[in-house]
């Protein structure tokens, strides 16, 4: 019985009572913290195993180091290519059916597929599972679209910084613990633990995360795959969105030229006996610094503008990639990756917040899913081409050259941003 009905039963002469103002059923802060916890679990799971994929591939009988480098690039390319192609479709579906169901898809399908990866007996089975993973997963796009749909506009930088913090914190915790497990129990156990963490994230999403979603009117949503593609094409005509897609493609391409090669680079620095542990420590240091940085820089972006923050972080990250090409010990690399984390922590939150502001400034607030689906079409291509290029470059020119290429790309992005991107405000 509602409070109004109880009062009327006790005092029937009072007649109709005025509507009582109540707090909204969905607290955006509570929902944001739950979303952050789910994101942290998923990123921890990815960090638990995927930094060591080249080392796992070497146990699948592919041949010498050069072939391991090449297959590492091919498997990453296949996964990321499918991710980029399917992200806009999943994004458009989320605008019609809700963002929470997309997170459920990501968590539970990821748990099944990653668990099967640990049972791979040859490189072809592993490649096929990586491709399927790209088709069904995409946690960053799903979490970003959901956060952008319910967070107040003036707190957008803080919210996306919190999601980015969960990403970096997960990539800090996951590789360190995953490296220890891999060195002592083997890589197949790492895949098993990853699957369990993803399944737990799915259960948390199912039981705790809430969404107040209003489907678009039936007369505004075209049916079938053709309707989805029409929505994607319509949103893709936005010139500023296309510009930001190009920027994020460049950033992710440059970063992913390096990341898959880090375990192999650590081996060349004398870490053969504990490569996984040292690689995990590198990701941990960079992740902790980046997580702290992302939360603070998100607030800075809310106050001073997301475009300014994006320019500074792109230039800073580019500068700190240069000395990594010349390190002579793992300790030097750990130190430089930690400093890089200061700028990495601000790159994605500022870019995603800028995209959300531009989206609302054009009256497209109901298309966050499609928007970020297109964004991760671009970033997925960066994820795809970066590792593939990194494997080819490392095999032909040398591992150290990949750091210089990434530095050049990020510096070029930072120089271009003041001229090509506007810091839009919502209408």
Write down the pLDDT at residue 82.
Answer: 86
Token pair, residue 413, equals: 């992005």
Write down the pLDDT at residue 292.
Answer: 83
Task: Report how many domains make up the chain.
Answer: 1
Which of 214, 222, 223 minimizes the C-alpha distance to 366? Answer: 214
Measured distance CA(341)–CA(315) in Å, rounded? 13
**Residue 40 belongs to domain spanning:** 26-210+237-420
Residue 427 lies in a domain: no
Which 8-state DSSP code applies to residue 216?
Answer: P
Phi-psi region of 169 (alpha: psi -120 to 50; beta: other; left: phi over 0): alpha
Write down the pLDDT at residue 302.
Answer: 77
For residues 118-151, b (16+ Cβ closer than 10 Å) or e, as one string? bebeebeebbebbbbbbbbbbbbbbbbbbbbbbb
**Contact residues for 344 (Cβ-Cβ < 8 A; gap 6+):** 168, 286, 290, 293, 313, 317
Measured distance CA(197)–CA(42) in Å, rounded? 7
Residue 333 lies in a domain: yes
The angle formed by the CA atoms of residues 220, 223 and 100, to the nearest 5 degrees, is 80
Token pair, residue 425, equals: 């405000």
Which 8-state DSSP code applies to residue 61?
Answer: T
Residue 19 lies in a domain: no
Residue 215 lies in a domain: no
pLDDT in tens, the chain (427 residues): 444 444 444 444 444 434 333 334 457 888 888 998 998 999 888 878 877 788 888 888 776 767 777 787 788 778 878 888 888 888 888 877 788 888 899 899 999 999 999 888 888 999 999 999 988 887 877 888 788 777 877 777 788 878 878 877 887 788 778 878 877 787 888 888 889 999 999 999 998 888 777 766 555 555 566 666 777 777 777 788 888 888 888 888 888 888 878 888 888 887 555 777 787 788 778 878 887 888 788 778 778 788 888 899 999 999 999 999 998 888 889 899 989 988 888 888 888 888 877 776 555 556 767 787 888 888 878 877 887 787 778 878 888 888 999 999 999 999 998 887 776 554 4
Write down the pLDDT at residue 23.
Answer: 38
For residues 265-279, b (16+ Cβ closer than 10 Å) or e, as one string? bbbebebeeebbbbb
Token pair, residue 8, equals: 């009327």
Write down the pLDDT at residue 424.
Answer: 57
Distances (CA, A) of 236 to 330, 383, 384: 43, 20, 21
| Cα Rg of the chain, angstroms | 23
Write down the pLDDT at residue 415.
Answer: 92
CATH number of the structural domain spanning residue 176 = 1.20.1250.20
CB 374 within 8 Å of CB 232: yes
Q: How many CB atoms lie within 10 A of CB 322?
A: 15
Residue 260 lies in a domain: yes
Residue 287 lies in a domain: yes
Q: How many CB atoms lie within 10 A of CB 308?
A: 15
Which of 351, 357, 346, 347 minimizes the C-alpha distance to 375? Answer: 351
Which of 239, 192, 272 minimizes the C-alpha distance to 420? Answer: 239
Residue 223 lies in a domain: no
Residue 276 lies in a domain: yes
**Contact residues for 84 (Cβ-Cβ < 8 A; gap 6+):** 134, 376, 377, 378, 379, 380, 381, 383, 384
């Amino acid at each position: 019985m509602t409070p109004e009905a109880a009062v009327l039963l006790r005092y029937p002469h009072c007649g109709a009572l005025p509507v009582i103002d109540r707090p909204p059923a969905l607290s955006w802060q509570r929902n944001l913290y739950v979303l952050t916890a789910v994101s942290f679990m998923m990123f921890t799971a990815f960090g638990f195993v995927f930094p060591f994929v080249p080392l796992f591939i070497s146990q699948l009988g592919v041949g010498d180091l050069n072939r391991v480098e090449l297959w590492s690039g091919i498997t990453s390319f296949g996964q990321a290519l499918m991710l980029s192609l399917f992200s806009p479709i999943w994004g458009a579906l989320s605008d019609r059916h809700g963002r929470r169901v997309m997170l459920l898809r990501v968590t539970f399908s990821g748990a099944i597929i990653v668990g099967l990866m640990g049972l791979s007996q040859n490189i072809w089975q592993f490649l096929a599972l990586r491709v399927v993973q790209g088709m069904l997963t995409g946690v960053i796009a799903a979490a970003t679209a959901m956060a952008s749909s319910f967070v107040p506009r003036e707190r957008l930088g803080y919210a996306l910084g919190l999601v980015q913090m969960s990403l970096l914190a997960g990539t800090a915790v996951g590789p360190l613990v995953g490296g220890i497990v891999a060195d002592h129990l083997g890589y197949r156990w790492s895949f098993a633990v990853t699957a369990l963490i993803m399944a737990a994230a799915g259960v948390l999403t199912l039981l705790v995360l809430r969404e107040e979603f209003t489907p678009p009117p039936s007369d505004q949503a075209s049916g079938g795959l053709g309707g989805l593609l029409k929505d994607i094409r319509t949103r893709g005509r936005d010139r500023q969105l296309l510009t930001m897609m190009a920027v994020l493609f460049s950033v992710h391409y440059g970063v992913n030229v390096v990341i898959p090669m880090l375990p192999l680079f650590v081996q060349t620095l004398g870490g053969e006996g504990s490569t996984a542990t040292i690689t995990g420590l590198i990701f941990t240091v960079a992740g902790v610094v980046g997580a702290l940085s992302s939360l603070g820089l998100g607030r800075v972006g809310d106050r001073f503008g997301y475009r300014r923050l994006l320019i500074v972080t792109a230039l800073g990250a580019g500068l700190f990639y240069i000395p990594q090409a010349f390190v002579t010990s793992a300790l030097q690399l750990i130190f430089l990756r930690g400093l890089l984390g200061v700028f990495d922590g601000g790159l994605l939150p500022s870019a995603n917040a800028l995209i959300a502001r531009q989206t609302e400034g054009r009256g497209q607030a109901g298309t966050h899913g499609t928007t970020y689906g297109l964004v991760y079409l671009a970033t997925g291509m960066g994820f795809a081409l970066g590792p593939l290029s990194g494997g080819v470059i490392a095999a032909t020119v040398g591992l150290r050259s990949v750091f210089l290429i990434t530095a050049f790309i990020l510096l070029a992005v930072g120089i271009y941003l003041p001229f090509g991107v506007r810091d839009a405000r919502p209408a």
